[in-house]
Amino acid sequence: MPHEIPFLDQVPDLAARLGEARILYTDLDGTLLGPGGSLVRDSAGAPTMDGASAVVEVNRAGLPVVITSGRNARQLNEVSRMLGWRDFIAEVGCVRSYANARRQVRDLGVWPADALLPGETPYQAIERVGAVALLQERFPGLVEYHDPWHRDREVTHMLRGKLPIAEAQELLDSLPLPVSIVDNGIIHPPSHGLVGVTEVHAIHLVPSGVSKQRAIFEDLTDRGLERHQAIAIGDGAADIAMAESVGLMVCVSNGLDDPTLLAAAARHHNIAATRGARGTGWRELVEAWIAAQPQA
């Protein structure tokens, strides 16, 4: 479909920008992974080694990759270990994990220090103030938990459906704790219980102020790196927001089918797209990144 995002090979200073990059922040589902969360399936479900071989190449080059995902920390700890990576950012920026989960940092955004009851998790606090129940009551049949991905979460609630985001956020603003809604773009669950919804979106409820871009900013600060030394890749509107914290934000081509992503991309000037989808597009970026590295 027509779009105004340039492809990677159309970025005039691409080699220089990638040559400065010292770290890659990557989304997983719909980006590195194919349908069903598979590393070895392309967009059509056919076997492919594009993503897997690119992981091997970037590891061999010694270039660090940090998964930045809506998935929970338990899932990302296992995925990172299997892919040979040490650090990750989970739950849309709420949890940063380092050195194979030996150290974790939790971000609750603008929540006050006394937001949690004794022994309560942030996830339980969002449940306590009735955020999900409020949305389901106001928009019956349009939103439900994104089973099974909503389980084992420390901070955020992961839903699926199709909501008028501005109206839903206005509703959440009435809660005693500040909770924000994040539309992470179109997904294709094998089944759901929604009513009359033909375009299903992944929806996160997060403590207000938390985001992937904020987590990346904090992570870069911890590492002593600057914005121009980081790149990111994703496939959804919430990923596009990472452009605020990195020198170059890349969208895999399947993301160009999502109007919410295109609308978000229009607000930034440091975004490019791969010509390949999912793992093939991921490989496209990684190969260009490795080729641009200064020779020792």
Whether residues 149 and 215 fall in one domain: no
Establish if 280 belongs to a structural domain. yes
64 and 139 co-located in one domain:
no
- Exposure string (b/e) for 78-101, b if CB count within 10 Å is 16 or more? ebbeebebebbbbbbbbbbbbeeb
Q: Quote the number of domains for the chain.
A: 2
Q: Please tell me the predicted confidence (pLDDT) of residue 117.
A: 97
Three-state secondary structure call for residue 6: coil
- CATH number reported for the structural domain that contains residue 225 in this entry: 3.40.50.1000
DSSP 128-162: HTTHHHHHHHHSTTTEEE-TTTTSS-SS-EEEEE-
Tell whether 181 is covered by a domain: yes
Specify the pLDDT at position 238.
Answer: 87
| Domain around 133 | 122-207
pLDDT of residue 184: 82
Closest to 197 (Cα-Cα) out of 159, 162, 147? 162
Domain boundary residue among 182, 207, 232?
207
**8 Å CB contact between 251 and 274:** yes
Query: Tens place of pLDDT for every residue, the chain, 296 residues?
Result: 446 899 999 999 999 999 999 999 999 999 999 998 999 999 999 999 999 999 999 999 999 999 999 999 999 999 999 999 999 999 999 999 999 999 999 999 999 999 999 999 999 999 999 999 999 999 999 999 999 999 999 999 999 999 999 999 999 999 999 999 998 888 889 999 999 999 999 999 999 999 999 999 999 999 999 999 999 999 988 899 999 999 999 999 999 998 889 999 999 999 999 999 999 999 999 999 999 998 75
Q: Does 142 fall in a domain?
A: yes
CA-to-CA dists, residue 71 to 37, 191, 270, angstroms? 11, 19, 26
Does 137 lie in the same domain as 60?
Answer: no
Closest CA to 280 of 18, 33, 67: 33
Q: In this structure, are 225 and 200 located in the same domain?
A: no
Answer with the one of 162, 189, 207 that is the final residue of a domain.
Answer: 207
Instruction: Say yes or no: 28 and 59 in one domain.
Output: yes
- Would you call the peptide bond into 259 cis, given omega within 30 degrees of 0 as the criterion? no
Does 66 fall in a domain? yes
Q: Are residues 153 and 26 in the same domain?
A: no
User: pLDDT value at position 1?
Assistant: 41
Q: 136 and 85 in one domain?
A: no
pTM for this prediction: 0.94
Q: Please give the Cα distance from 86 to 30 (Å, whole number).
A: 21
Work out the angle at residue 228's Cα, subtended by the Cα atoms of residues 225 and 234, and round it to the nearest 5 degrees.
Answer: 100
Q: Given this model, what pLDDT does residue 159 score?
A: 98
Provide the pLDDT for residue 3.
Answer: 63
